Amino acid sequence: MVRNVDYKCWLNFAQMGGHPAAKRYRDQLDSICVLGDGPISRTVKEELGRGLSELTGKDSFAVHAEPQAETSVIAAVDYLENGGLLDEGYIVRAAKAGDKVQVVISSPSERGLLYGTFAFLRQLQAGRGLEKIDILENPKNELRMLNHWDNFDGSIERGYAGRSIFYNRNELVDDLGRIQDYARLLASLGINSIAINNVNVHYLETTFIEERLDLVKTLADIFRPYGIKLFLSINYASPMQLAGLETADPLDPDVQQWWIDQTAKVYEQIPDLGGFLVKADSENRPGPFTYGRNHADGANMLGRALKPFGGILIWRCFVYDCQQDWRDYETDRARAAYDHFYPLDGEFDDNVILQIKNGPMDFQVREPVSPLFGKLERTNQILELQITQEYTGQQRHLCYLVPQWKEILEFDTFAKGPGSTVDKILAGAIFEQSHSGITAVVNVGRDGNWTGHTLAQANLYGYGRLAWDPSLSAEQITDEWVVATFGHNEKVKHTVSKMLLRSWEIYENYTTPLGIGWMCNPGHHYGPSVDGYEYSKWGTYHRADHQAL
Ligand code: GCV
C-alpha cells in the first residue's frame, strides 16, 4: 500500500523529534499502566504506548500491571473522583511523585479514557510542560458524527480524494488496516458515530440490512475498540425491494412488522449499532409522501422498530421539489425544509432526530443559517455540515471551512432571548431534547494523504474539534492542527495558519461573491459559472440581474 508522508495526519507524533520538550518528556516518562481489559482499554494501552514512543523516540515503555508510585502515566476508569464528568468526559492531571511527575487519566467510561489519552498526547504535541497538565473536559455535543457518502461499488458521491476506503466492487476493501487507521484518527477527535454508506441508498446498498450484514459486522468490529458506533443509511422502500411487499406505507401493519423483524435481525448481528439514517422524499428517493403520509409517520415507524434496541433514527430535512420550473416564482426551495418540518414540531418520537443542513439551500459557499434552528422547540435535532468540498473547490482549492462553521455555530437565533446560539441548541442547552449533536459529510478517500489536498486534512480535524467543543476558536484549532501535522517551525506555523484562515473568504470572492449562491457548473459543481444553475429544474436560482441582487 502506498502511504504518503502525510498519511498519519495530525497523529504525526514523531514531528516532535527536534523539540526541546520531546527531550524533557524522554527523561520524564518511562512507564504506563492502563487498568481494564475491555476492547477500548486495550486501544488506550496501544495508543498511549505508541504515541509516547513516537513522541520521545524511545522504543518502548515499561507496562505496569498495577499503578505504582513511579508509574509515569496511569489511565483507569474512575481512578480519580469524577465529579462533574459526563460519561465521555475525562480528567488528565499531573501530580508530583517524588522527583518525577505522574500523569493520571481518569473517566467514568473507557471511551472517555480514550479521549483523555488523545487529549494528553495533544498536550505533549503542543510542547506543554508535563507538570502543568490539569484538564477536565466534557464533550459539548452528545452525538459527534460523520456521514460517508460511499457507494458499495467503491465510488463516493461528492468524493474528491479517491475511491472509498471501505468498499471496492461491491465488497469490502482488502486493506482493513487502513480502516483501523481511520478509526484512530476519528477517535483522536472524539467522533463517536459514523454512517457508513451514502444517504442515496441504491439497489445494492439496500442489502446492507439483510444479506450483507456480514460486512456491516466486520466494520462494526473494527470501529468498536475506538468507541465509534455505526449507523446505516437505509432505503425507505426496503420492504418492497427486499421482501416484495407492495407498499412502503408507514401506516401499513405489514410494513411496520417487516421493519420490526428486520431491525431485530440487524441488532442480532450488531447489538451496538447506532441506528438508521434516512433520506426520504428527496431528490427522487422514496418516502412517505408517496402514500399521503407525513415525515413524522415515516420516521416514527422506523424509530419504533429501533427503540427496543436503544437505536436512534436520524431523518434528514433535505426535502424539496427537484423538478421545478424556473419561471415559477411561488415554489421557493429555500423555504422547503422549514415548510415541511416546522408544522411537525413535537410529533417525532424521542429516539428520532432530525438532521438539518446548516443552510436552507445546500452547502453553498455562504448561506444564512437554516430557519429550523430556533424554531423547532420540541424535536431532537442535529446540524449537518459538509466537510467534503462539493461547492467549495473540491479539494483542489484551499478552502478551510472552520471559520464558516464558527459563524454558523455562533449564530444567535434569539429563540429564547439573546444567547440562543446554534451551538447551544445543538448541545441541548436551549430546548429540551433527548438527543442532540452534530454531523458532517466527510472528505476522505483512498488517496495516500486521505483528503486529496493535504491541507484539506485540516477541515476534518477542525470539524472533529468543533464537534467536541464548538467554543474553541478557529485560531486555536488551526494552530493545533499545523503543529500536530507539520511540527513546531514558527515560519511554517505562521504561513500555513494564515493561508488556511483566509481561504474561505478568498474562495468566496473568486467564485460566488456578494452572498449569491449557486454560481457553479451544474452537476459536478466545480468552477464558477454565473448563470450555471439559473434555468434548471433544481430550484437553485439566485435571480440576480442588472437590477438587483
Ligand atoms: C447525497 C446535494 C448533493 C448530492 C447529495 C445531496 C444530499 O444535492 O449534490 O450529491 O446527495 O445534496 O445531501 O442528499
24-77 residue pLDDT tens: 999 999 999 999 989 999 999 999 999 999 999 998 899 999 999 999 999 999
Predicted local confidence at residue 2, as pLDDT: 53
> If we measure between CA atoms, which residue out of 424, 193, 221, 442 comes closest to residue 311?
193
Task: Using pLDDT thresholds of 50, 70 and 90, give the confidence band for residue 463.
Answer: very high
Backbone angles phi, psi at 105, to 5 degrees: -115, 120
**Which one is catalytic: 142, 367, 390, 508?**
390
For the record, the C-alpha cell of 497 comes out as 495558519
Is residue 144 scored above 90 in pLDDT?
Answer: yes
3-state secondary structure of 226: helix
Which atom of ligand 1 is least distant from the CA of 158?
10
Q: Once rounded to an integer, what is the mean pLDDT over residues 344-364?
A: 98
3-state secondary structure of 455: helix
Q: Once rounded to an integer, what is the mean pLDDT over residues 226-248?
A: 98
Is residue 176 scored above 70 in pLDDT?
Answer: yes
Predicted local confidence at residue 98, as pLDDT: 79
Those residues with Cβ within 8 angstroms of residue 367's Cβ, 6 or more apart along the chain or in another chain: 358, 359, 360, 361, 517
State in Å: Cα 362 to ligand 1 middle: 8
Which H helix or E strand runs over 194? strand 193-195
What's the chain's average pLDDT? 96
Strand partners, 119: none
Is residue 271 scored above 90 in pLDDT?
Answer: yes
Q: DSSP secondary-structure letter at 388?
A: S
**Are 391 and 378 within 8 A, CB to CB?**
no
Residue 65 to residue 141: CA distance in whole angstroms: 34
161-197 burial string, b = 16+ CB within 10 Å, else e? bbbbbbbbeeebbeeeebbebbbbbbbbbbbbbbbbb
Predicted local confidence at residue 83, as pLDDT: 87
- Residue with CA at minimum distance from ligand 1 atom 12: 362
Is residue 197 scored above 90 in pLDDT?
Answer: yes
**Are 416 and 432 within 8 A, CB to CB?**
no
CB atoms within 10 A of CB 27: 9
Predicted local confidence at residue 5, as pLDDT: 73
Is residue 519 scored above 90 in pLDDT?
Answer: yes
Residue 222 to residue 43: CA distance in whole angstroms: 11
Task: Using pLDDT thresholds of 50, 70 and 90, give the confidence band for residue 232.
Answer: very high
Q: Count H helices, E strands: the chain?
A: 14, 16
Is residue 375 scored above 60 in pLDDT?
Answer: yes
Cβ < 6 A, ligand 1 pocket = 149, 157-158, 199-200, 279, 283, 318, 362, 390
Task: Using pLDDT thresholds of 50, 70 and 90, give the confidence band for residue 114.
Answer: very high
Residue 128 to residue 131: CA distance in whole angstroms: 9
> If we measure between CA atoms, which residue out of 253, 357, 256, 341 comes closest to residue 307?
256
CB atoms within 10 A of CB 154: 20
**Are 520 and 533 within 8 A, CB to CB?**
yes
pTM above 0.95, yes or no: yes
Residue 55 to residue 63: CA distance in whole angstroms: 17
Task: Using pLDDT thresholds of 50, 70 and 90, give the confidence band for residue 534.
Answer: very high
Q: Once rounded to an integer, what is the mean pLDDT over residues 505-523?
A: 94
Task: Specify whether 283 is catalytic.
Answer: yes
Predicted local confidence at residue 1, as pLDDT: 55
| C-alpha to C-alpha distances, 39 to 45, 114, 214, 236, nearest whole angstrom | 10, 11, 20, 34
State in Å: Cα 159 to ligand 1 middle: 11
Q: Once rounded to an integer, what is the mean pLDDT over residues 271-275?
A: 98
Task: Specify whether 390 is catalytic.
Answer: yes
| C-alpha to C-alpha distances, 507 to 396, 475, 498, nearest whole angstrom | 12, 19, 14
Task: Specify whether 362 is catalytic.
Answer: yes
